Structures are given as structure tokens and as C-alpha cells.
Amino acid sequence: MIDNILWQPTLIDIEQAALRIAPYIHQTPLMRSTLIDQLAGCRLTFKCENLQKTGAFKVRGACNAVLKLSAQQAARGVATHSSGNHGAALALAARNRGIPAYIVVPSSAPVVKKRAIIGYGGEIIDCEPTLVARLETLEQTLTRTGAQFVPPYDHADIISGQGTAALELHRQLAANSADTLITPVGGGGLLAGTAIASKSLRPQCRVFGAEPAAADDAYRSFYSGQRITEHTVNSIADGLLTTLGVANFSIIQQSVDSILRVEEQQIIDAMKLIASRLKLVVEPSAAVPLAAVLAHKSLFAGSHVAIILSGGNVDLEQLPW
């Protein structure tokens, strides 16, 4: 099992990760919409990780973690638990290295995400849709296969890989830099990596996380100072239903300015707006940051806000509207 490394990555770790994974990922484009700017009352730039390989930013962290394994560690493959995007990313990263991937997937995961895992060569192991069931099934899988555990978010190599999205974004914007970045937050790997990269490169840049009010453990953890480990979730944003990671919580406490909550209908409306104006398919989790900007306009008025659209793996026959 990969050690649960809780040391905090630095900008150097993120820059090294960017070089390491460059041959295996896309540099995703930036997009803008004048109409959405007018609705939001600020200038918005969208980083389109929904167009990334596997359809989500997760491939960045998975590739970084798998490529850092020694030959001995990688010999018997890798394993993880995932509601979909990390599982697909790990399956692709493993295939690139020529090793097997075993993915524990809750029964509630979207079919489109299960198909992606299989398509990239991963072996799915089903479990009940609870964290306890995920972890128990994962332990059984690790014992059976001898595979290395690659955590979905709570690990320095994963955080470093996810931080490359923000690093790439800042480099693409160059002199037209954003003064605010906002990402969705579930386990916290993307938000933590974004905060490290952004605060290192541009210390005055504000960094926000956004999550559904129906799955707000990160919000409550951030403002209580205590990491919430048990909560009831009921949101269409299936990628954000995990508990905030230990390492991620520490980084977020130190480097994130605020975490915002949005309602389910606001997420749906943001998905529709992205589809109609940017002509992009995004999953509910990816629409949460735009929903937060539109719901909290006074926080962003007149700013240049960059939003990371985290993924586009949505079942077109099961759209929330």
C-alpha cells in the first residue's frame, strides 16, 4: 500500500509533477462567455478539464502517483475506491504503465463512469454505497491482489498532480492573470493543489472552494476548524460526496480564502448555462463553482475569476433536468 503521505507538497512538487505527466495528459483549453460575464457581474475564465483525458482532472493526480511508483511497487498493479472519475483515471494511468488496476466502485455510481473504468482496462469490484463498505471492500481487494493502494485524494502525489491544472491555468493566462480561482471540493485534492499553486505563484490570488449545501462537510469543517468525518449527503453532484481528506483539510485551512455552498437547483441552472453558452457538457460537480459565483455575486463583482470545470462525465440520458 502506498504510504498515506501527509506532508504538504510545494510548488516545486507540482512543477515536477507537470513535467512527469506531460506526455500522458492534454493541456486543456480556456474558454470565456460575454453573456455569462454579464450575468455574473465579473470576468470569468473557464479551464476545461472536462476535455481532459478520461473526461476529468483526476488523470493528473493518478498519472503522477502511478509514475512515481517503483518497479517493485507497481509489479502487482494498483487499486483504489472511487465513484468513477478517479477510478477511470487510475485505470488509464495503469494501462499506460502496463499494470492492472482494481477499482472498488459503489453501486450508486453513474453507469457512464463505470463504463469508462472498464473501457480503460480497469477491473470493477462492486460495493455498497457507503464509505465503510468502500474501505472494507478495498482492504479485501488489496489482500487478494497484493496491489498498491492509490488514494483518490488524500496523498501528496495526488495533490501535486491535481495542482498542475492550476499551474497550467496561470501559465496560460500569463499577464492576464486571474485574481480569484474557484474549484469544486469533495475530497479536496483539486482545491488543495490549486491553493498551493496559486498562493505560491500569486500570493494575492483568492482561492475559493464550492460544494453542494446537501454535501457540505468541507464548509462545516473549514468554519468549525474540525474535520467532519460523518455526514449525510444527498446531491446530484456525485463527484463531491466524499469526505474531506486529512492532508487536504490542513492545506485548505491554511491557504483557502473561503468555501461556498449552493443549492441543487442552482447546480442544475449552472449546468444548463454552461451547455447553452459555452457549448460544453459538464457533470454536476463541475457546475458547482459557477453556481457559487452566480449565488454570491457580491464576492466576485469586478474580479477576474477563473473556474476549473472539473469533469464532463455525465450520462446524457440521465440529465438532472
Q: List residues with catalytic annotation.
A: 58, 83
Residue 53, CA distances (Å) to 134, 247, 312 in order: 25, 26, 10
Could you give the CA distance from residue 183 to residue 189 in angstroms, rounded to a whole number? 10
Adjacency order of strands within the sheet including 180-184: 30-31, 43-48, 304-309, 180-184, 206-212, 258-262
Adjacency order of strands within the sheet including 101-106: 123-127, 101-106, 78-81, 148-149
- Is residue 86 within 8 A of residue 80, CB to CB? The reply is yes
Q: Residue 267: name the closest of 205, 314, 200 by CA.
A: 314
Q: Residue 40: name the closest of 285, 237, 303, 276 by CA.
A: 303
Could you give the CA distance from residue 228 to residue 211 in angstroms, rounded to a whole number? 14
Could you give the CA distance from residue 313 to residue 56 in angstroms, rounded to a whole number? 7
